[in-house]
């Protein structure tokens, strides 16, 4: 996807496809940058961007030092990222089993950007967990630790 609509000082932090904007009743791509949240409606043919909605990060409400980005459960397997802006709210649904976990990543990143903090990097932890799972399944190394020693099964 061509991101030529981004400002030269914007960096993409998170991006997800097949997210539904409940306010617009459309599906598309959701992009978080250091300055904005974008919702891009993608055309059916050739996958070109048909429409871009821009939501400035500096317009997200903060109450008692809590950024107003929350998770809600729309139904059994559908979770939404609800963001409250000065001018209204937006709700984005992630329709899959990993939706809840992914929304929490979005909330942490949005909160860090709004507060001017370092964005949490869960990728290092995910890589380490992947290596441990591979080691356990492939060569029998248990991921339980006693001091600095690994137990071999």
Q: Of residues 124 and 2, which shows the higher confidence score? A: 2
Mean pLDDT across the stretch 15-28? 90
* pLDDT given at position 146: 42
In three-state secondary structure terms, 81 is strand
Distance CA 152, CA 136 (A): 9
- Encoded tokens for 50: 């048909």
pLDDT tens track for 46-70: 678 889 999 999 999 999 999 999 9
* pLDDT given at position 131: 58
Nearest to 36 by CA among 15, 55, 51, 52: 55
pLDDT tens track for 90-143: 999 986 656 788 899 999 999 999 998 888 776 445 545 555 555 555 555 555
Is the pLDDT at 27 greater than 60? The verdict is yes
75: pLDDT confidence band, cut at 50, 70 and 90?
A: confident
Eight-class DSSP state of 60: B
Q: What is the DSSP string of 11-71?
A: -EEEEEEEEEETTTTEEEEEEEESSEEEEEEEPSSTT-EEEEEEEEGGGB-EETTEESEEE
Q: For 11, what's the count of Cα atoms within 13 Å in the CB-facing half-sphere? A: 5
* pLDDT given at position 97: 59
**N- to C-terminal Cα separation, the chain:** 47
């Amino acid at each position: 996807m061509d991101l030529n609509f981004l400002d030269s000082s914007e960096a993409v932090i998170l991006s997800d496809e097949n997210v539904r904007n409940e306010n617009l009743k459309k599906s598309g791509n959701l992009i978080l940058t250091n300055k904005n949240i974008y919702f891009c409606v993608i055309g059916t043919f050739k996958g070109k961007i048909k429409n871009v909605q821009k939501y400035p990060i500096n317009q997200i409400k903060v109450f008692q030092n809590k950024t107003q980005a929350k998770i809600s459960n729309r139904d059994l397997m559908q979770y939404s990222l609800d963001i409250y802006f000065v001018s209204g709210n937006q709700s984005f649904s992630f329709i899959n089993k990993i939706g809840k976990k992914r929304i929490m990543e979005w909330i942490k990143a949005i909160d860090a950007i709004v507060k001017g903090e370092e964005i949490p990097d869960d990728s290092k932890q995910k890589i380490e967990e992947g290596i441990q799972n591979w080691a356990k399944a492939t060569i029998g190394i248990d991921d339980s630790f006693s001091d600095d020693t690994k137990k071999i099964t």
